[in-house]
Structure 1
């Protein structure tokens, strides 16, 4: 149960590198009097590609992994004879505190606080069976997708904006991650049954994406500014990414190494990205990063992430923030 699942480190590392592309513009606080340069044709194309391939999908990947993390953590608690709810609630409380510090002192767009708060909800679902979790997820997905489709046809009613809120999307991805643990899928990713299920869901996700593309074309939301097309594709694309990346991690070991190293220190690297990004933008005198600048800033930051992660993990088992988070949680348990 304590054996580390390497494919998760790879996907986690890949996810935070993708999240970085979305976060870099948010490292700059935009004011009303700030004049933003008009993007060139190439910059607009890069921005469109980031929206289509990255926006919401990589936060989705990270959310599935967080849900998996909650499930594995609580399973480990049970195997050690520790109350999983008591242990996990302490862990999430410290994440909330660290997230508030990150949000106030470094990066206002930090995901740590919402992840901690939504984590408390998902923690309460741990006792449910995998079949119930699956039905809950299907219900949320159905409600979310139907609501996005309704909104894409310019129909509005009370509560619609709440249903299509990103928090609902994150909650659902957390539940999908917890389901993967409760169904034992994540513990047996190398088994023949898991491989068959993975390929089946890759096919279903691909078909779902094609159906969504048709709906987007009919509704004309690809021309809208509210990114409903991105919301509509977020769930099937994220699931497809997760399954394909899992296949890659199990088959092509050499490619996954760099992302695996970054993923082992995901917490530290996520916070480090906001610090390094802010410094680089300030030093380089960038008013607001365009798409091309986002790409080269991301490459620099990811390279620094890898080098730091490689050197730290060469001498230590964990990154500094992972160590602090673990120590705070265990220390509190021992005192109680």
Structure 2
């Protein structure tokens, strides 16, 4: 199959890419969940941990939240299109966003890396852009992407090279190994408010990715773009990422301590490689590959994403084990959990149309649907 894919196959394509993105997001998140890569610190990596950290920076870091955000924009473009076609008011969309925000707040109470509340906060703006022309949407998206990069990264890189400025890091949160009471007090006093405030800043980049997704979903780009065009784009983005890979390798192995320069290289290569991943998976699916394990993970992405925190963070805090596993050990643990989630998702979907949290989200959005006999 090399032509535009049909409606049922289109949904499968998005599920596959979402499942793939979920795997990458968990690999990125688990170091901070375990404390093996203290998110605000500057750990010194050695041996296998150095290899793992480098591979993360090259192929995983920033690549997968980019894909997830694009898919969010695509998904909500479909939701808005169907809602407007039915003549629904904006209240249903707002209700869907509010429920997502509540999921995010509950998740944020446990772990500061939650992205759902950020998606909800910025997702409220999407209907304001839905009626714009494609050109206007892309203009906004590119302007926000370039502007946010220059504001948050370009200025820091410039300062780093001119004044020697770098990120000194913050002390390890010992309260994480002092029981649930001390841990939660620390989160209330320090982390939760900071995470919400940070969402107002990092959300600018997230929102520009929503807009790209809105454009892709509205134009059915992944579904109608030629295989030659997809393949060519994947090759070009991969080649353009190579110089930034060089910066990352130089930072890790060349002896230079250029924290913000490395972050900028990771961010730019992330956008390029995310595009490569999406294009390659689209080509593969349109050629007939099914990726059933990724389909299952993607169909239950919300459930699996939230479950990551429940099965990792809470046991780590309960056992006082935060910061005691290496980056390499965290990698193998995350792979084992993803394999278990894959089998569970495939089993669950044999008798259910939606995952548990997806079902709750759907009921909150549409209400309980009566079966027609």
Residue of structure 2 aligned with 1:7, choices 4, 8, 13: 13
CA contact (8 A) 1:2 1:76 kept: no
1:180 aligns with 2:216: yes
Gaps of 5+ in 2: 1-5, 163-197
Shift of 1:114: 0.5
Q: Within the alignment, does 1:301 sit opposite 2:306 as a pair?
A: no
Is the CA contact (8 Å cut-off) linking 1:221 and 1:229 kept in structure 2?
A: no
Q: Aligned residue for 1:159?
A: none
- Partners of 1:151 and 1:133 in 2: CA distance: 28
Aligned positions, number: 318
CA drift of 1:182 comes to: 2.0
CA distance in structure 1 between the aligned counterparts of 2:272 and 2:44, rounded to whole angstroms: 33
Contact 2:34 2:330 (C-alpha < 8 Å) held by counterparts: no
Equivalent residue, structure 1, for 2:358: 322
Shift of 1:248: 2.5
The equivalent residue for 1:267 is: 302
Q: 116-125 or 320-329: which moved more? A: 116-125
Q: Is residue 61 of structure 1 aligned with residue 80 of structure 2?
A: no
| Alignment partner, residue 87 of structure 1 | 92
Contact 1:39 / 1:290 at 8 angstroms: preserved in 2? Answer: no
TM-superposed CA distance for 1:252, in Å, is 5.4
Q: Distance in 2 between matches of 1:239 and 1:281?
A: 35
Question: Is residue 147 of structure 2 the alignment partner of residue 113 of structure 1?
Answer: no
Gaps of 5+ in 1: 157-161
Query: Residues 113 and 314 (structure 1 numbering): CA distance in 2 closer, same or farther, change over 3 Å?
Result: same
Q: 1:47 and 2:82 equivalent?
A: no
- How much does 1:251 deviate? 2.8
The answer to whether 1:277 aligns with 2:326 is no
Measure the CA separation in 2 of the matches of 1:221 and 1:75.
Answer: 52
- Residues 129 and 182 in structure 1, CA contact (< 8 A), matched pair in contact too: no
d(CA) in 1 for partners of 2:234, 2:297? 26
Q: Distance in 1 between matches of 2:339 and 2:264?
A: 33
C-alpha separation in 1, matches of 2:299 and 2:135? 30
Which whole-Å deviations, capped at 9, do the CAs of 1:256-314 have from their partners, x for residues lacking one?
Answer: 11111100000001011111123564688744232211211111210121122111100
| 1:28-53 superposed Cα distances (whole Å, 9 cap, x missing partner) | 469x9xx9996431211111111221
Give the drift of 1:183: 2.0
- CA offset digits 1:219-253 (Å, max 9, x no partner): 99974123222123222222222212222233352
Distance 1:130 1:36 in 2: 42
Task: Give the equivalent residue in structure 2 for 1:233.
Answer: 269
Partners of 2:136 and 2:240 lie apart in 1 by: 23
TM, length-normalised to structure 2: 0.75
Q: For structure 1, which segment, 268-277 or 289-298, has the greater mean C-alpha deviation from structure 2 after superposition?
A: 289-298
| Backbone CA RMSD of aligned residues | 3.4
Q: 1:127 to 1:215 in 2, by over 3 A?
A: farther
User: Which one of the candidate residues 287, 292, 298 is aligned to 1:257?
Assistant: 292
* Partner of residue 108, structure 2: 103
Whether the aligned pair in 1 keeps the contact of 2:21 and 2:65 (CA below 8 Å) is yes
Contact 2:15 2:298 in 1 (8 A): yes
- Give the Å deviation of 1:315: 0.3
Per-residue displacement from partner, 1:38-80 (whole Å, max 9, x unpaired)?
Answer: 6431211111111221111111111111111110111111232
